[in-house]
Amino acid sequence: MQKSESTSSLGPGGLDLSEAFFKPIHRAAPPSPTKRHTKISVIGAGNVGMAIAQTILTQDLADELVLVDAKPDKLRGEMLDLQHAAAFLPRTKIHASVEYAITAGSDLCIVTAGARQIPGESRLNLLQRNVALFRNIIPPLARFSPDTILLIVSNPVDVLTYVSWKLSGFPSNRVIGSGTNLDSSRFRFLIADHLDVNAQDVQAYIIGEHGDSSVALWSSISVGGVPVLSFLERQQIPYEKQTLENIHKQVIGSAYEVISLKGYTSWAIGYSAANLARSILRNQRKIHPVSVLATGLYGIDGGEVFLSLPAQLGRGGVLGVTNVHLSDEEGQRLRDSANTILEVQSQLGI
């Protein structure tokens, strides 16, 4: 499929009409070669990929947005639909192709592509098909954009982030999984709802696997700078641990509920991925719970494993992992979560 892009060569013989519309001012210098042109490529034009693309456009995060998908007709339709909204959006060039060469020179590649589960198919078989799919996605991305940062959104995100790291040959700081960034947002929302405060004033993390073995860091939750559990203990205000566990279970079940109601999740993960893209490309050095190479951290050993930890993100990708305090129980649950992921990887033979 041929890519489509805006062009000023509309005159006879391809004459560049921009020269007729605009006159140069005197004593002007040519554009600075140091001005950064930001290019983001989104792999997979399904519900999640398009939600991410739309959010990137509305938040003005890129000068150039590229869409890649295996279905040329749908891909062209999605591209045209976004291009037709140009009058309502910040100026961004939008391209699309089934060929990975179009991604060349990307600053950030966001991978959302994944195989759909066949009725009756085991989770392991689905994962094996996704790994096979990634063998055709990650190497060309790395070849055409050797300095890019890979942001993996496809599920199971922790295992596929590890697979992407191995297939790309990139340093670990330039391969990131969306991990529990969205889980933590859901967690903050539920806590804020219980306490009737703004979710932005809640500091709370879900770490570990993006899945059933995730770990809620209750010991470090704060609201408006006040550590919640220690405050309750000092004020001798009783609380039930089961109440806390129920909130965590709601976080784990949130995606399943949305899927049961509308068939898929899209908008929340779209905002989550755009949030990560902003921190990376704008070098904001913000802390996000994302899937990173966790081996050697918090007593995690037994093999190379990616799981979510609070990490500082910037232009170099993962700049570091915060040394957040974990209770003994939280530390053990995190290590158990790591072992859960390692067991899946061992079944895959990777």
Catalytic positions, please?
210
316 is in an annotated binding site: no
49 is in an annotated binding site: yes
Calpha distance 344→339 (Å, rounded)? 9
Q: CB-hemisphere CA count at 13 Å for 294? A: 35
283 is in an annotated binding site: no
339 is in an annotated binding site: no
44 is in an annotated binding site: yes
User: Angle at Cα 159 formed by Cα 347 and Cα 69, nearest 5°?
Assistant: 115
175 is in an annotated binding site: no
Q: Which of 101, 95, 98, 92 is nearest to 113 (CA)?
A: 98
Compute CA distances 137 → 19, 115, 254, 284, whole Å: 40, 13, 29, 28
Residue with tokens 């979710």, as numbered in its chain: 199
3-class DSSP assignment, residue 66:
strand
173 is in an annotated binding site: no
47 is in an annotated binding site: yes
Calpha distance 31→171 (Å, rounded)? 33
Residue 317 bridge partners (DSSP): 314
Q: At what angle do helices 123-134 and 328-348 cross, to 10 degrees?
A: 70
46 is in an annotated binding site: yes
Exposure string (b/e) for 296-322, b if CB count within 10 Å is 16 or more?
eebebeeebbbbbbbbbbbeebbeebe
Annotated binding residues, as ranges? 44-49, 69, 130, 153-155
Annotated binding residues for NAD(+), as ranges? 44-49, 69, 130, 153-155
